[in-house]
Structure 1
Amino acid sequence: MNTLHPCKEVSGNVCATIKWYCTTIIITPLCAGALFSSLDCVFNRWILWHIRDTTPQIFNLPISFFRGFGLTHCPSQLGGLHTSNFSSTYNIGGREERKSVRSERVEWEYSPPENGSPELSMKAIIISGQRRILISGSIHYPRSTPEMWEGLIQKAKDAHLDVIQTYVFWNGHEPSPGTYNFEGSYDLVRFIKTVQKLGLYVHLRIGPYVCAEWNFGGFPVWLKYVPGISFRTDNEPFKMAMQGFTQKIVQMLKSESLFASQGGPIILSQACFLSSTKEILDSIENEYGPVSRASGPAGRSYLNWAAEMAVGLETGVPWVMCKEDDAPDPVINTCNGFYCDTFTPNTPYKPIMWTEAWSGWFTEFGGPIHHRPVEDLAFAVARFIQKGGSFINYYMYHGGTNFGRTAGGPFITTSYDYDAPIDEYGLIREPKYGHLKELHRAIKLCEQALVSADPTVTSLGSLQQAHVFSSQTGGCAAFLANYNPDSFARVMFNNVHYNIPPWSISILPDCSNVVFNTAKVGVQTSQMQMYPANTQSLMWERYDEVVASLEDNSLITATGLLEQINITRDTSDYLWYITSVDVSPAEGFLHGGQLPVLTVQSAGHALHIFLNGQLSGSAYGSREDRRIKFSGSVNIRAGTNKIAILSVAVGLPNAGVHYEFWSTGVLGPVVLHGLDEGSRDLTWQKWLYQVGLKGEAMNLNSLEGASSVEWMQGSLAVQDQQPLSWYRAYFDAPDGNDPLALDMGSMGKGQVWINGQSIGRYWIAYAPNGDCNSCSYIGTYRSPKCQSNCGQPTQRWYHVPRSWLQPTRNLLVIFEEVGGDATKISMMKRSVSSVCADVSEWHPTLKNWDIESNGQPEEYHKPKVHLQCAPGQSISAIKFASYGTPLGTCGNFQQGACHSPNSYTILEKNCIGQERCAVAISTTNFGSDPCPNVMKRVAVEAICSSAAQPIS
Structure 2
Amino acid sequence: MSVSYDSKALIIDGRKRILQSGSVHYPRATPEMWPGIIDKAKEGGLDVIETYVFWNYHEPVKGQYYFEGRFDLVKFVKTVQDAGLFVHLRIGPYACAEWNYGGFPLWLHFIPGIQFRTTNGPFQAEMELFLTKIVNLMKEENLFASQGGPIILAQVENEYGNVEWAYGIGGELYVKWAAETALNYNISVPWVMCAQEDAPDPIINTCNGFYCDTFIPNSPSKPKMWTEDYTGWFLSFGYPVPYRPVEDLAFAVARFFEKGGTFHNYYMYFGGTNFGRTAGGPLVATSYDYDAPLDEYGFIRQPKWGHLRDLHMAIKQCEEYLVNGDPKHLSLGMNLEADIYYTTPDDCAAFLANYDTSLDANVTFNGKSYFLPAWSVSILPDCKNVVFNTAKVVAQKRVGDTSTPSASASETSLSNSPWCWYLEKVGVWSNGSFTANSLLEQINTTKDTSDFLWYTTSIEADEKKDAFLLIESLGHAALVFLNKKVLAFGYGYHDDASFNISEKISLEQGNNTLDIISMIIGVQNYGPWFDIMGAGLYSVILADLKNVKEDYSSNEWTYQVGTEGESLGLDNTELANSSIWTQGSSLPTHQSLIWYKSTFIAPEGESPLSLNLASMGKGQAWVNGQNIGRYWSAYLSPTSGCTDNCDYRGTYDAQKCQKCGQPAQILYHIPRTWVNPGENVLVLHEELGGDPSKISVMTRNG
TM-score (norm 1): 0.72
Amino acid at match of 2:418: M
- CA drift at 1:707: 3.9
Residue correspondences, number: 693
Q: Distance in 2 between the 1:614 and 1:535 partners? A: 32
Pairs within 5 Å for 1:800-839: 800-831=670-701
Q: Does residue 1:604 correspond to 2:475, yes or no?
A: yes
Q: Distance in 1 between the 2:223 and 2:15 partners? A: 16
Cα gap change, 1:469 to 1:597, in 2 (>3 Å): same
Aligned residue for 2:472, secondary structure, equals strand
Q: Distance in 1 between the 2:378 and 2:365 partners? A: 12
Give the match for residue 554 of structure 1.
Answer: 432
Give the match for residue 540 of structure 1.
Answer: 419
Compare 286-295 and 200-209 and name the one that shifted more. 286-295
Q: Does residue 1:220 correspond to 2:90, yes or no?
A: no
Give the match for residue 584 of structure 1.
Answer: 462
- The question of whether the paired residues in 1 share the 8 Å contact of 2:274 and 2:288 is answered with yes
- CA drift at 1:130: 2.4
Give the match for residue 598 of structure 2.
Answer: 729
Structure 2: give runs of 5+ residues left out of the alignment.
Answer: none
Pairs within 5 Å for 1:653-692: 653-668=524-539, 670-674=540-544, 678-692=548-562
1:124-168 deviation per Cα after TM superposition (whole angstroms, max 9, x unaligned): 222223221000000000111101000000000001100000000
- CA drift at 1:562: 0.5
Cα gap change, 1:508 to 1:660, in 2 (>3 Å): closer
Give the match for residue 877 of structure 1.
Answer: none
Aligned residue for 1:771, secondary structure, equals coil
Give the match for residue 238 of structure 2.
Answer: 366
Amino acid at match of 1:830: R
- The question of whether the paired residues in 1 share the 8 Å contact of 2:427 and 2:517 is answered with no
Give the match for residue 610 of structure 2.
Answer: 741
C-alpha RMSD over aligned residues: 1.5
Aligned residue for 1:294, secondary structure, equals helix
Q: Does residue 1:424 correspond to 2:296, yes or no?
A: yes
The match for 1:491 among 351, 357, 363 is 363
Cα gap change, 1:362 to 1:813, in 2 (>3 Å): same
Aligned residue for 1:635, secondary structure, equals strand
The match for 1:126 among 11, 31, 34 is 11
Amino acid at match of 2:225: M
1:804-842 deviation per Cα after TM superposition (whole angstroms, max 9, x unaligned): 11112211100001110010000012225xxxxxxxxxx
Cα gap change, 1:757 to 1:772, in 2 (>3 Å): same
Q: Does residue 1:250 correspond to 2:135, yes or no?
A: yes
Give the match for residue 441 of structure 2.
Answer: 563
Give the match for residue 60 of structure 2.
Answer: 175
Amino acid at match of 1:238: F
- CA drift at 1:682: 1.0
1:829-887 deviation per Cα after TM superposition (whole angstroms, max 9, x unaligned): 2225xxxxxxxxxxxxxxxxxxxxxxxxxxxxxxxxxxxxxxxxxxxxxxxxxxxxxxx
1:626-684 deviation per Cα after TM superposition (whole angstroms, max 9, x unaligned): 1111111223211211111000001111111224531110111x012227893322110
- CA drift at 1:121: 2.4
Q: Does residue 1:231 correspond to 2:124, yes or no?
A: no
Q: Distance in 2 between the 1:825 and 1:216 partners? A: 31
Q: Does residue 1:572 correspond to 2:443, yes or no?
A: no
Amino acid at match of 2:47: D
1:515-557 deviation per Cα after TM superposition (whole angstroms, max 9, x unaligned): 100000011111224334346643211111111238x543111
Pairs within 5 Å for 1:109-120: 113=1, 117-120=2-5
Q: Distance in 2 between the 1:676 and 1:132 partners? A: 75
Cα gap change, 1:474 to 1:714, in 2 (>3 Å): farther
The match for 1:702 among 572, 585, 589 is 572
Aligned residue for 2:238, secondary structure, equals coil
- The question of whether the paired residues in 1 share the 8 Å contact of 2:3 and 2:188 is answered with no
- The question of whether the paired residues in 2 share the 8 Å contact of 1:699 and 1:706 is answered with no
Cα gap change, 1:688 to 1:129, in 2 (>3 Å): same
- CA drift at 1:221: 0.9
The match for 2:257 among 358, 364, 385 is 385
Give the match for residue 463 of structure 1.
Answer: 335
Give the match for residue 653 of structure 2.
Answer: 782
Pairs within 5 Å for 1:21-32: none
Give the match for residue 441 of structure 1.
Answer: 313
Q: Does residue 1:158 correspond to 2:43, yes or no?
A: yes
- The question of whether the paired residues in 1 share the 8 Å contact of 2:100 and 2:277 is answered with yes
Q: Distance in 1 between the 2:143 and 2:432 partners? A: 50
Q: Distance in 2 between the 1:532 and 1:260 partners? A: 45
- The question of whether the paired residues in 1 share the 8 Å contact of 2:468 and 2:545 is answered with no
- The question of whether the paired residues in 2 share the 8 Å contact of 1:477 and 1:508 is answered with yes
Q: Distance in 2 between the 1:298 and 1:119 partners? A: 31
Aligned residue for 1:403, secondary structure, equals coil
- The question of whether the paired residues in 1 share the 8 Å contact of 2:441 and 2:536 is answered with yes
Amino acid at match of 1:310: A
Aligned residue for 2:151, secondary structure, equals coil
Amino acid at match of 1:547: V
Tell me which of the two structures has the higher relative contact order, counting C-alpha pairs closer than 8 angstroms and 6 or more residues apart.
2
- The question of whether the paired residues in 1 share the 8 Å contact of 2:322 and 2:341 is answered with yes
Cα gap change, 1:385 to 1:723, in 2 (>3 Å): same
The match for 1:294 among 160, 166, 170 is 166
Structure 1 segments of 4 or more deviating over 4 A?
none
Give the match for residue 772 of structure 1.
Answer: 642
Structure 1: give runs of 5+ residues left out of the alignment.
Answer: 1-112, 268-280, 590-594, 833-952
Pairs within 5 Å for 1:818-897: 818-831=688-701
Q: Distance in 2 between the 1:677 and 1:344 partners? A: 60
1:754-810 deviation per Cα after TM superposition (whole angstroms, max 9, x unaligned): 11111110001110113221210100111111111x111111111111111111221
1:419-476 deviation per Cα after TM superposition (whole angstroms, max 9, x unaligned): 1000101111111101000000000111111112011111111211111112259642
Q: Distance in 2 between the 1:677 and 1:309 partners? A: 59
Give the match for residue 26 of structure 1.
Answer: none
The match for 1:758 among 617, 620, 627 is 627
Amino acid at match of 2:24: I
Q: Distance in 1 between the 2:39 and 2:581 partners? A: 45
Compare 416-425 and 520-529 and name the one that shifted more. 520-529
Higher Cα radius of gyration? 1
- The question of whether the paired residues in 1 share the 8 Å contact of 2:428 and 2:560 is answered with no
Pairs within 5 Å for 1:606-625: 606-625=477-496
Q: Does residue 1:303 correspond to 2:164, yes or no?
A: no
Q: Distance in 2 between the 1:227 and 1:473 partners? A: 66
Q: Does residue 1:346 correspond to 2:218, yes or no?
A: yes
TM-score (norm 2): 0.97
Q: Distance in 1 between the 2:53 and 2:623 partners? A: 26
Q: Distance in 1 between the 2:8 and 2:185 partners? A: 27
Amino acid at match of 1:803: T
Q: Does residue 1:796 correspond to 2:666, yes or no?
A: yes
